[in-house]
Amino acid sequence: MTEASLAARTDEARRRSGSYWLLAGLFLEPPTEAGLSRLAESLAGVSADSDDAVGDALVRLRNAVAIDAPDVLAVRLAPEHLRLTGGLKAGFGPRPPYESVYREGGVMGERTMGVLKAYQDAGLDPLETAAVPGDHLGIELKFLALACYREADAWGAGDTEAAADWIAREARFLEGHLATWVDAYCAEMRNHARDPYYVAVADLAEAACRLDLARVRQLAEYSAAA
C-alpha cells in the first residue's frame, strides 16, 4: 500500500472515530452551554443533498442548535435529555438505551455480557467511570470510536495487518450488537422527542450507524481480499 493510501485510510479512520465520539457524547452527557457552543461551531459548514441522510440530519441538528442561545438551549434540553435517555418510567419516554432491553426485554442480560466481552477482547475500556451498563448506546458508540482510533494508529504506523484486525472487530461489533437495535431505540426516541434537537439526534445516530456498517463491510471485504 502506498504512503498516500495509508494516509487516506488513517484520515478516514480518524474521521470515523470522531463521528462515533460525537454521537456517544450526545447520548451520554446532558447538553451544556459550552458543549452546545462547540457543537454549533463544528456544524457551521455542514450541507446535504436529498440523498444524504447523515448530512440532512446534521443540517437539521445545526438548525435546532441555532434556535436559541446556548445557555437558554441547555436549560431547555437538560430535562429532555434525562427523559429520553434515562428510562424513567413507562410511557414517560422511550425505554432506556440498553441493548439488552431492546433485544432481551430486560437489563443486564446475555447481550450485556456479550458487549463486555467484546470490550475485554479488544483491550479497550469505554466504560471508565460511567454510571450506566456496558450495553448503553453511548458506551457502544464510544467503544467504536476507540476501535476506529486504534485502526487509525495502525494505518499510520503502516501496520496493515493490525488495521485489518481492527476493521474486522468493528464489523463484528456493528453486526452483532449496535446495528441490531439502534434503529429501534432511535424510533422510540424520535416518537417521544418534544424538541427538534433530539429528533435530529435520533435521525443522525440511525443514519450514521447504517452508513458506517455499509462502509466497514466494504473495508473488511477489501482487507480480506488483499
pLDDT digits over 41-85, tens only?
999 888 766 568 898 999 999 999 999 999 999 999 999 999 999
Q: Which three cell numbers stand for residue 210?
A: 447504517
Q: Please answer whether residues 107 and 98 qualify as being in contact, where contact means their C-beta atoms are separated by less than 8 angstroms.
A: yes
Q: Which amino acid is at 80?
A: E
**Residue 49, pLDDT score:** 64
Distance CA 6, CA 154 (A): 9
**Residue 219, pLDDT score:** 87
Report the number of distinct structural domains present in the chain: 1
Distance CA 30, CA 13 (A): 27
Q: Helix 70-85 crosses helix 179-192 at what angle (to 10 degrees)?
A: 120
The SS3 assignment for 36 reads helix
Residues of the chain below pLDDT 50: none
Q: Please answer whether residues 17 and 145 qualify as being in contact, where contact means their C-beta atoms are separated by less than 8 angstroms.
A: yes
**Residue 44, pLDDT score:** 87
Report the CATH number that the domain containing residue 200 is assigned in CATH.
1.10.3480.10
**Residue 50, pLDDT score:** 52
pTM of the model: 0.93
Q: Which three cell numbers stand for residue 204?
A: 443522525
- Domain enclosing residue 69, as ranges: 3-225
